[in-house]
């Protein structure tokens, strides 16, 4: 497999790829046109923030399986386009966490003591000691907008400075707030109470412009604002007006809505401090994110482990070997449901019980959806299958049963149709060999593999002979023959593995046999 490192990255990243047996090309600084011309050769793409794999570039990425972002923010990657093409997008949210948090604290000190202006004045030969009156951090209230990984580190450092910390984060639980030592508040309360506000949230439709003109008007008079997260969280024109009016006493930005920020209405404004997106710019952080992105991408390509993915469930390297047999079985159950029921499915329930209930259910569910949606669309995998299912309005639920039933482990997929629920189930023999054990109300043991025929019929003597004769006349060899029935003379099921696929004429002849209710060619 081949990896393209498209941005300047610590040399350790390329070393790790090569140590793992992957071929690596390092080509930083390519134009979008140059990247599009070569991207089809690669299985993995490693980037920082300069390279922007958009929909046009990804349309040429015919072999690409994973994009690794060495850093936290992924707004330079078209995640929707990658997901539609089944490409995993990963980031490294922990490699530069401490570095970014420390930069936010440094910016807070710079604002509190007017350090940049005082430095410039002093080096200009002035001695304006009385001009630069600062404020202490001790006893002040810090408002966190975003209390995740970086926000929690900032909170820890601020508490060490004897500040009071309040936090607005819809995903922050009361228990986690207590653990962090912060007070959870709503956004309006934070704006009204905070002496300093620092942002630590991704840029999404919900957070874009979270500190806009209306929000800035609600802040405590003479608040100081720090943003080392993402450009676009703050309305820069509104912030300029708030600084001019004195509503905001100071602002420090490491990130801007448009970067490189060679011009901004904020430049030159008294009380404004800026740095050129230095949040992750330490030697330690650069090494850490390079190592992490290389390890994550290599693990995914070589073992199927998924770490810090933006668009699919995570699956650790330790979990992957144990979950993989279930994923193969789950994908086949999804294929069976999709091919047998067509587009009549209204909702889907995925259940695990016994040993399977102890596993990470998300990859199993993703595999079911990949199999199911592959019956309707081309180029489907675990990455884009949930999106395709959502686009079709398919409601998907997951159920975990800790008890053990007839089998030591079981995965059951139930499709709700207009005629009621239809379920299939599978287990593992010897922890590695998947078997179908239940199909639409009939117990059966079968291996799902290659071309097959799913036939429902009335249980009558001589049917199997007629079925075999019809296939023989079509020169179709039977590999395995699996039977099940609800009761004598009632509904019966045949699941037949065959060496070649039947043509339409053969299927029509099978449908014409006495007692046949349904014939569905299957492929696994």
- From the list 468, 348, 487, the residue with the least C-alpha distance to 413 is 348
Contact (Cβ atoms closer than 8 angstroms) between residue 53 and residue 82: yes
Closest CA to 212 of 164, 272, 257: 257
Spatial CA neighbour of 89 closest among 277, 296, 295, 362: 296
Active site residue 259: yes
Residue 12 a catalytic site member: no
Angle value at C-alpha 250, between 159 and 151, nearest 5 degrees = 35
**Cα distances (angstroms) measured from residue 507 to each of 245, 467, 500:** 80, 11, 13
Short-list 435, 444, 368, 441, CA closest to 408: 435
Distance of CA 161 to the CA centre of its chain: 36
482 membership: H or E segment, kind and range? strand 478-485
Active-site position among 85, 230, 422, 438: 230
- Among this protein's residues, is 277 annotated catalytic? yes
Mapping DSSP to helix (H, G, I), strand (E, B) and coil, where does residue 322 land?
helix
For 214-281, give the secondary structure using H, E and C: HHHHCCCCCEEEEECCCCCCECHHHHHHHHHHCCEEEEEECCCCCCCCCCCCCCCCCCEEECCCCCCC
Identify whether the C-beta of residue 205 lies closer than 8 Å to the C-beta of residue 180: no
Tell whether the torsion through CA atoms of 153, 77, 66 and 13 is positive or negative.
negative
Bridge-based pairing of strands 66-69 and 23-26 is unpaired
Strands 2-5 and 44-47 come out as parallel
Q: Which of 23, 55, 128, 259 is catalytic?
A: 259
* H/E stretch holding 524: none
Measure the CA angle with vertex 46, ends 41 and 52; round to 5°: 90
- Contacts of residue 282, Cβ cutoff 8 Å, sequence gap at least 6: 96, 99
Between CA 312 and CA 95, with CA 50 as vertex, the angle to 5 degrees is: 55
Cα separation, 187 vs 168, in Å, equals 6
Quick count: other Cβ atoms within 10 Å of Cβ 520? Answer: 15
Which two structure tokens, joined as six digits, stand for 249?
A: 């006493």
200, 277, 412, 422: the active-site residue: 277
**Kind and range of the H or E run holding 169:** none
Which are the contacts of 299, defined by CB distance < 8 A and separation ≥ 6?
305, 307, 317
For the annotated catalytic residues, the residue numbers are 230, 259, 277
């Amino acid at each position: 497999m081949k990896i393209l490192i498209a941005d300047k990255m610590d040399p350790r990243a390329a070393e790790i790829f090569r140590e793992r047996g992957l071929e690596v090309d390092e080509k930083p600084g390519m134009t979008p046109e140059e990247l599009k011309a070569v991207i089809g050769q690669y299985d993995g793409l490693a980037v920082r923030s300069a390279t922007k794999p958009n929909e046009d570039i990804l349309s040429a990425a015919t072999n690409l399986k994973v994009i690794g972002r060495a850093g936290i923010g992924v707004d330079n990657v078209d995640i929707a386009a990658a997901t539609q093409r089944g490409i995993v997008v990963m980031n490294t949210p922990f490699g530069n966490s401490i570095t970014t948090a420390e930069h936010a604290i440094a910016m807070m000190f710079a604002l509190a003591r007017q350090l940049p202006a005082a430095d410039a004045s002093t080096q200009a030969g002035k001695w304006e000691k009385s001009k630069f009156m600062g404020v202490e951090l001790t006893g002040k209230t810090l408002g966190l907008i975003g209390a995740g990984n970086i926000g929690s580190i900032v909170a820890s450092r601020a508490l060490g400075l004897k500040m009071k910390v309040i936090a607005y984060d819809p995903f922050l639980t009361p228990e986690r707030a207590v653990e962090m030592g912060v007070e959870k508040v709503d956004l309006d309360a934070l704006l009204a109470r905070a002496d300093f506000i620092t942002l630590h949230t991704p840029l999404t439709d919900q957070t874009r412009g979270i500190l806009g003109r209306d929000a800035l008007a609600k802040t405590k008079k003479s608040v100081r604002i720090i943003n080392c997260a993402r450009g676009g969280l703050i309305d820069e024109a509104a912030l300029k007006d708030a600084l001019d009016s004195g509503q905001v006493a100071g602002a420090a930005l490491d990130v801007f809505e448009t970067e490189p920020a060679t011009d901004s209405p904020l430049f030159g404004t008294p009380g404004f401090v800026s740095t050129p997106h230095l949040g992750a710019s330490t030697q330690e952080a650069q090494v850490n994110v390079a190592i992490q992105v290389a390890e994550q991408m290599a693990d995914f390509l070589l073992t199927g482990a998924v770490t810090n993915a933006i668009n699919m469930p995570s699956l650790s390297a330790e979990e992957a070997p144990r979950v993989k047999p279930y994923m193969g079985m789950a994908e086949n159950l999804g294929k069976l449901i999709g091919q047998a029921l067509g587009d009549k499915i209204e909702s889907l329930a995925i259940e695990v019980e016994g040993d399977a209930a102890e596993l990470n259910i998300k990859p199993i569910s993703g595999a079911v959806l990949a199999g199911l949606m592959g019956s309707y669309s081309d180029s489907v995998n675990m990455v884009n299958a949930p999106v395709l299912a959502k686009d079709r309005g398919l409601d998907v639920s997951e159920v975990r049963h800790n008890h053990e039933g007839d089998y030591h482990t079981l995965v059951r997929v139930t499709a709700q149709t207009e005629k009621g629920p239809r379920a299939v189930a599978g287990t593992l023999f010897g922890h590695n060999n998947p078997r179908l054990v239940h199909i639409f109300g009939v117990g059966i043991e079968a291996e799902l593999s290659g071309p097959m025929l799913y036939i429902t019929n009335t249980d009558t003597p001589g049917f199997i002979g007629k079925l075999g004769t019809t296939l023989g006349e079509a020169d179709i060899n039977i590999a395995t023959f699996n039977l099940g029935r609800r009761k004598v003379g009632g509904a019966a099921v045949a699941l037949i593995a065959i060496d070649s696929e039947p043509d339409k004429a053969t299927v029509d002849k099978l449908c014409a046999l006495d007692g046949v209710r349904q014939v569905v060619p299957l492929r696994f």
